[in-house]
Structure 1
Amino acid sequence: MKEEVKTVMVPKLRFPEFRGAEGWKLIALQEVSTPITGRVGQKKLTPVSISAGIGFVPQSEKFGRDISGKQYQHYTLVSDGDFVFNKGNSLKFPQGCIYLLQGWGEVAAPNVFICFRLKGGYSNGFFQNCFEQNQHGRQLKRHITSGARSNGLLNISKETFYGVEIPTPTLSEQQRIADCLSSVDQWMAAQARKVDALKSYKRGLMQQLFPREGETQPHLRFPEFQNAGEWEPRTLGSVCSSFSGGTPSTTKPEYYEGDIPFIRSAEIARDRTELFPPLPAKLTPLHLDHFHHQGA
């Protein structure tokens, strides 16, 4: 019999302790996970939905009300540590998004979602990052033959979904990668909190440094201006000049690929204009295209 050839991949960037280890192998979701089919029944849980780029949100928050209705008892019971696939398309995830439930305890997920749990030997954090990279979507798009149905969901069967293959290393390397990326997430969250605090600080300063409505002096002034008197109202036309122009003539090479950059109104939504070069591709170390393929 002809020996089966399995695809083995090696990432371009690898932690030192794994540089001499075996390559990563493509493993289908059906091999590494167990479907979750248990129903909510009489339990009183929060009905949730999934928003691309955000994750789990209560239905009452996303839709303004609980839309589960009579279907609630047939919703799937999902617990922390479980994954949920929403087949709805979005700009961020055109083939649907997958999120890991964390910090919710138990929730009720619509039964049109595909819910699953990883088996032992596989890291939730590692697979979560794979799904955030849309590794599932790049494979699923080959199987989508039409647009979303009337309910907004794509025609992706469970069989097709569980056939998605994820490049997977040993558990120790999975956890090493997950821990590293988790640390980056924590650092980003800390920086975001600092930015939010600075924004609040700036808003407070602006309220003090500018006169309030009906007043002619700010409540807070720099020492050298404390006796400078009241602020005088002026019209915008008295402090600036305005102008408008048309698109430069194509007979002027200094504008087109020349030394004078400009942007046309029709280009505002584009990722490349005369002012800006093409945007660099997002770095995705675990992207399938970043692996060297070998026969094993």
Structure 2
Amino acid sequence: MDKNKANVPKLRFPGFTDPWEQRKVCELIEDYIEKTEIQNQYPVLTSSQQKGIVFQEDYFADRQVTTNDNVGYFILPKGYFTYRSRSDTNLFVFNRNDIIHRGIISYYYPVFCVKDTDSNFFLRRINFGMNSQLAMAAEGTGQHVLSLSKFKNMITTVPSLPEQKQIGLLFEHLDHLITLHQRKLKHLQDKKKGLLQKMFPKDGEDFPEIRFPGFTDPWEQRKMGEMTCLITKGTTPIDKSGNGNINFVKIENIDSSSGEINISSKISEEEHNGYLKRSQLQENDILFSIAGTLGRVTSVNKGILPANTNQALAIIRLKTGCLEYVKTYLKGKAVSDFIKKNPTIGAQPNLSLEQVGNLNIDLPSFKEQQEIGTFFNELDHLITLHQRKLNHLQEQKKALLQQMFV
């Protein structure tokens, strides 16, 4: 392949046609060594793989994990880069201080700045497409160490400075958009968590902290078994081929946040109507995971029928009560507390069908159940929409990184 063609990305901004150039990293960055002279001279920072540069007290739940003496730690000015030079997994993630004018960081985190290079572009350049090169440059057998001198000796490819600025600005905007959606999603998830605690009575009480207007009667408690006409489970198909035209639902097919069912396995009609007949699913059946990952909840819609399931999912078929309310209750604190106290520990944690039948369900009037169920169903839908948007943006970023970098 022509060398110039190999150094041209698939996707570019209009007006840029020159091939990218190979440059040593040392031509693009400068060391920055300034150390603290007094204790806690600036806020202590951590460079994390998932969250970037963060305050250490936030990252480690309001406690610092540096030594009592942080005199001699590196100072990290705003806009400057760092990375953890030691890795157990051979993965090295580079971060830029975008949160504070000056912070301090352990001497295991080299500090540097860029020169004659766009900072936004460089941040994406070193974190995309260079992982194998970084891993090869690291030394050590147990804990891998990537020294700053080794990093500076590496070779990478870069475009002209104007093209760097265009690329850097695009990804800076995209990352900002992703961060906004992550915050919105977390806000909704936290709101749901708080409402699940406040809109249901605490243990031993008959009234919730928050109610919809017009409802004042005390709640009652009933066993799940009293509300159902069926609580059962399936079994593992004998035929392991996954062939057939009957959908087969497993725990991993149920999205942990949205509850959506994404089918990946099939069974035959002979199995479905034969030894798996007791676990044939019907519309509005509740599926509740009772083995391995406990407490995952969804309900069956007619779009996936005919369908069946295995022994890791309990099938709960209601005869009384509001479907959406019961699903919401099963996702709440009372049931999660029950699961923590009552699993049978074997090869994997599990709940028996008898335990599921003995679950205590706090019940208001049917009309109030409907109000609560509808409210949380709409909130779940909103959370799902935000999750999908976030996933789309992350996939869009991934695709652009693959096409816009050499």
Pairwise same-fold verdict (TM > 0.5):
yes
Structure 1 residue 131 and structure 2 residue 126: aligned? Answer: yes
* 1:65 to 1:22, Cα distance in 2 relative to 1, 3 A: same
The counterpart of 2:400, out of the listed 260, 285, 289, is 285
Partner of 1:258: 244
The counterpart of 1:41, out of the listed 31, 37, 40, is 37
Report the alpha carbon displacement of residue 284 of structure 1 after superposing the two structures with TM.
4.2
Partner of 1:55: 52
Partner of 1:174: 164
Distance 2:99 2:252 in 1: 45
Bigger relative contact order, structure 1 or 2 (CA pairs below 8 A, ≥6 apart): 1
Partner of 1:235: 223
Distance 1:208 1:39 in 2: 49
* 1:162 to 1:248, Cα distance in 2 relative to 1, 3 A: same
Report the alpha carbon displacement of residue 187 of structure 1 after superposing the two structures with TM.
2.5
**Identity within the alignment, %:** 21
Contact 2:137 2:151 in 1 (8 A): no
The counterpart of 2:100, out of the listed 97, 100, 104, is 104
Report the alpha carbon displacement of residue 287 of structure 1 after superposing the two structures with TM.
4.1
Contact 1:35 1:116 in 2 (8 A): yes
CA RMSD of aligned residues (A): 3.8
Report the alpha carbon displacement of residue 96 of structure 1 after superposing the two structures with TM.
1.6
Distance 2:54 2:194 in 1: 31
The counterpart of 2:19, out of the listed 20, 23, 34, is 23
Structure 2 unpaired stretches of 5+: 255-261, 266-393
Distance 1:85 1:264 in 2: 40
Partner of 2:206: 215
Distance 2:164 2:99 in 1: 22
Distance 1:142 1:208 in 2: 53
Amino acid at match of 1:102: D
Contact 2:120 2:168 in 1 (8 A): yes
Once the two structures are superposed, the pairs formed by residues 55-204 of structure 1 within 5 Å of their partners are: 55-62=52-59, 64-70=63-69, 72-89=70-87, 94-120=90-116, 122-133=117-128, 135-144=129-138, 146-149=140-143, 154-199=144-189, 202=192
TM-score by length of structure 2 reads 0.54
Give SS of 1:159's match.
Answer: helix
Distance 2:75 2:210 in 1: 56
Contact 2:46 2:56 in 1 (8 A): yes
Report the alpha carbon displacement of residue 84 of structure 1 after superposing the two structures with TM.
0.4
Amino acid at match of 1:245: G
Report the alpha carbon displacement of residue 74 of structure 1 after superposing the two structures with TM.
2.4
**Farther off after superposition, 167-176 or 180-189:** 180-189
Distance 1:28 1:161 in 2: 9
Contact 2:34 2:74 in 1 (8 A): yes
Give SS of 2:231's match.
Answer: coil
Distance 1:286 1:168 in 2: 14
Report the alpha carbon displacement of residue 191 of structure 1 after superposing the two structures with TM.
3.1
Amino acid at match of 1:11: P
Structure 1 unpaired stretches of 5+: 269-273, 292-296
Report the alpha carbon displacement of residue 23 of structure 1 after superposing the two structures with TM.
1.5
Report the alpha carbon displacement of residue 55 of structure 1 after superposing the two structures with TM.
2.0
Give SS of 1:233's match.
Answer: strand
* 1:77 to 1:195, Cα distance in 2 relative to 1, 3 A: closer
Partner of 2:238: 249
Distance 1:73 1:221 in 2: 56
Deviations along 1:57-109, one digit per CA (max 9) or x if unpaired, are 34444452352444x33222221121102123367xx4221101123112222
Give SS of 1:285's match.
Answer: helix
* 1:211 to 1:42, Cα distance in 2 relative to 1, 3 A: closer
Distance 1:266 1:205 in 2: 27
Amino acid at match of 1:260: I
Report the alpha carbon displacement of residue 188 of structure 1 after superposing the two structures with TM.
2.7
Give SS of 1:180's match.
Answer: helix
* 1:127 to 1:220, Cα distance in 2 relative to 1, 3 A: same
* 1:276 to 1:166, Cα distance in 2 relative to 1, 3 A: farther
Give SS of 1:242's match.
Answer: strand
Partner of 1:294: none
Equivalenced residues, count: 262
* 1:47 to 1:290, Cα distance in 2 relative to 1, 3 A: closer
Distance 1:289 1:170 in 2: 14
Distance 1:73 1:205 in 2: 45
